[in-house]
Amino acid sequence: MAYTITLIPGDGVGPEVIEAARRVVEATGIEIQWELQETGEKALRTSGSPIPDEVLENIRKNKVALKGPITTPVGTGFRSVNVAIRKALDLYVNLRPARSFPGVKSFFPNLDLVIVRENTEDLYAGIEFEQASQEMRRLREFMENEKIKVSEDAACSFKLMTWKGSIRAARFAFEYAVRHKRKKVTVVHKANIMKATDGLFLRAAKTAAEDFPEVEFEDRIVDNMCMQLVQKPELYDVLLLPNLYGDIVSDLCAGLVGGLGLAPSANLGERAAVFEPVHGSAPRYAGQNKVNPMAAILSACLMLRHLGEVTRAEQIESAISQVLGEGKMVTYDVKSTSEESLVVGTKEVADEIIARMKELSRKPY
């Protein structure tokens, strides 16, 4: 079967890791017509918008996209293109597996966690009012009527969470647990302090849990969760989190298994799915053929699984495990201590994975 897939190279190191992922996917023999779409800084220069309408239309049409990281200016400039894509396409869950690989230095060599992050709501939706804005002035008036003083120098972010957004993410976590024979879902929150918003998220998780008695269920307060993850992450299985905690805790989990160079993700909705590495555009490494393409390649594996191409995904994952296990041809971030270890670039790692895939496919079963 031939597929048509949207390809978004992104900014910074994005084009290099996405090109590596494209080559590795094609080496499986799958037939894909890629439709290239520019976003971020490049699109802003050529079309005046960091997220032109054609990009969203193209993803809607193809239903699947492989995407590189996109730079978001810090503190000023345009709003996050990633948030815009997730909201516009209602990609309500961000799935982030964090798994140890042989040969990669980690205190936890057998870790296998899955993060299910609500992906469209919470503080991360970026609904904000600047100090001097009209909205902030109106908010100040409203709060004063409620006898709450808001000073002139205040800015404000809204933490909006809905039952619909929370319950569908929670159901996804339990359905995922059942489908993948996982034992436990842990919902992570700060409902002791944010009783209305995180309280709602926790209630939704408890409600979803009632329909899945075969899956163990528990909750953890987010600060305690971070400490527990650093000390004994092997106690956890599937983690369900609101958007902002999910973003932060998934980088922590990536760190537990060897870093951002190995962390893939899938943004999933009813009508579309966008696959991308967890890492950002790492601008200081852009154009240097330096960073690890494995996070992007593993994201492409999640994409292949989503398309039902499980054997091809496994073929790539086995090759990655071999390359990492031997540690001879890897990027700087997963350099092994072996004397034979050679630090190579993004492109060379992709070449090595492709060579391993060819060897593996020649081996008799």
Nearer to ligand NAD, 215 or 280 (CB): 280
Active site residue 87: no
Place of tokens 């870790």: 111
Of 169 and 260, CB closest to ligand NAD: 260
Site residues (CB under 6 A) for ligand NAD, limited to 58-97 = 69-72, 82
Q: Is 223 tagged catalytic?
A: yes
Query: Candidates 44-52, 144-152, 153-161, 288-296 — which segment interacts with ligand NAD by CB under 6 A?
Result: 288-296
Between β-strands 2-8 and 31-36, what pairing exists: parallel, antiparallel or unpaired?
parallel
Burial of 184 (0-12, 13-18, 19+ CB in 10 A): middle
**Residue tagged active-site, from 105, 164, 223, 358:** 223
Instruction: Using CB under 6 A, pick the residue from 140, 182, 279, 356 that binds ligand NAD.
Output: 279
Indicate if 247 belongs to the active site.
yes
Q: At what angle do helices 294-306 and 346-362 cross, to 10 degrees?
A: 50
Q: Which DSSP string corresponds to 40-105?
A: HHHHHHHHS-SS-HHHHHHHHHHSEEEE------SSSSSPPHHHHHHHHTT--EEEEEEE--TTS-
Nearest Cα neighbor of 157 from 130, 185, 197 is 130
Paired sense of beta strands 128-129 and 156-157, if any: antiparallel
In one letter, which amino acid is 217? F
- Assess contact for 341 and 335: CB atoms under 8 A: yes
Active site residue 190: yes
The binding track of 328-357 with respect to ligand NAD, each residue x by CB under 6 A or -, is -----x------------------------
Residues 3-32 that bind ligand NAD (CB under 6 A): 17
* 120 is a contact residue toward ligand NAD (CB under 6 A): no
The DSSP-derived string for 232-243 is -GGG--EEEE-H
Q: Is 55 in the site for ligand NAD (CB under 6 A)?
A: no
**Could you say whether residue 292 binds ligand NAD (CB under 6 A)?**
yes
From the CB of 303, what's the least distance to ligand NAD, in Å? 15
Which CA distances in Å does 244 have to 83, 107, 124, 137, 161? Answer: 12, 26, 5, 26, 12
Interactions with ligand NAD, residue window 184-203 (CB under 6 A):
none
Using CB under 6 A as the binding rule, whether residue 258 contacts ligand NAD is answered as no
Q: Is residue 280 within the footprint of ligand NAD (CB under 6 A)?
A: yes
Catalytic positions are 124, 190, 223, 247
Instruction: Name the residues that contact ligand NAD, by CB under 6 A.
Output: 17, 69-72, 82, 260-261, 276, 279-282, 291-292, 295, 333
